[in-house]
């Protein structure tokens, strides 16, 4: 065992209660703080002599804080993963209800019908831009119209399709 490891081990034994309190403040529980302190002991056993540690007490407290933070973060990730797995495996399906699915299907039907009813060239411009991914400037050049005109056709199509999606006013 290196002289650093020996000195740190002696200091760990002397400062154990202070190190436990520090770890407990960070991790939030006595059992977790005990786990951190146990990990600290194993870590200290592996410390080499090069480079020599000047302030062994500060080194030991910093190492304790780092291990406690790592433990806390690891536990938080584990709890989040457990929660997600539980939700996927045991909770009810998060999909839409039958009523919600019918409402969505009805809205989709209205939008599709409205898209077929768009006047030319609005329908053509909208299809080129939104479904074929042609930029507005390229559509304007290809059709020989201004970019503003293309933009206005797209806005008009979006407004008509949005109104169709929302359905008739109640």
Q: How far is CA 105 from CA 16, 40, 93, 131, 163, in A?
A: 65, 59, 19, 20, 16
Q: Average of pLDDT values for 121-138?
A: 91
Tell me the pLDDT band of 93, cut-offs 50, 70 and 90. Answer: low
For the segment 53-91, what is each residue's pLDDT rounded down to a tens digit? 999 999 999 999 999 999 999 998 888 888 888 777 776
The three-state (H, E, C) secondary structure of 88-150, written as one string = HHHCCCCCCCHHHHHHHHHHHHHHHHHHHHCCCCHHHHHHHHHHCCCCHHHHHHHHCCCHHHH
pLDDT at 67: 94
DSSP assignment letter at 49 = S
Please, which pLDDT band fits residue 94 given cuts at 50, 70 and 90? low
CB 114 within 8 Å of CB 123: no
DSSP label at 79? Answer: H
User: Cα–Cα distances in Å, from 55 out to 4, 11, 62, 92, 95?
Assistant: 11, 11, 11, 56, 58
Q: Do the beta carbons of residue 154 and residue 136 sit within 8 Å?
A: yes
pLDDT of residue 25: 95
Task: Find the range with the poorest average confidence among 17-21, 33-37, 60-64, 162-166.
Answer: 162-166
Joined together, the tokens standing for residue 163 give 């109104």
Angle at 53 between CA 50 and CA 56, to 5 degrees: 145
Q: What is the pLDDT of residue 143?
A: 92
- The predicted-structure confidence for 144-155, as pLDDT tens digits, reads as follows 999 999 999 999
DSSP state of 15: T
The residue-averaged pLDDT of 16-27 equals 95
Domains and CATH numbers, the chain: 3-90 (1.10.1740), 98-166 (1.10.10.10)
**Integer Cα distance of 33 and 17 in angstroms:** 11
């Amino acid at each position: 065992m290196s002289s650093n490891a020996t000195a740190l081990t002696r200091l760990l034994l002397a400062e154990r209660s202070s190190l436990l309190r520090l770890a407990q403040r960070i991790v939030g529980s006595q059992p977790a703080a005990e786990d951190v302190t146990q990990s600290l002991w194993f870590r200290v056993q592996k410390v080499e002599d090069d480079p020599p540690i000047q302030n062994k007490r500060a080194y030991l407290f910093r190492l304790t804080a780092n291990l406690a933070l790592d433990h806390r973060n690891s536990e938080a990730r584990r709890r989040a993963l457990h929660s997600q797995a539980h939700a996927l495996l045991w909770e009810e399906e998060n999909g839409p209800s039958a009523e919600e699915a019918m409402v969505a299907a009805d809205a989709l039907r209205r939008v599709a019908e409205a898209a077929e009813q768009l006047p030319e060239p609005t329908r053509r411009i909208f299809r080129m831009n939104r479904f074929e991914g042609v930029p507005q400037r390229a559509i304007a050049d290809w059709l020989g119209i201004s970019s503003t005109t293309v933009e206005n056709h797209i806005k008009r199509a979006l407004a008509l399709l949005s109104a169709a999606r929302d359905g008739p006013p109640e």
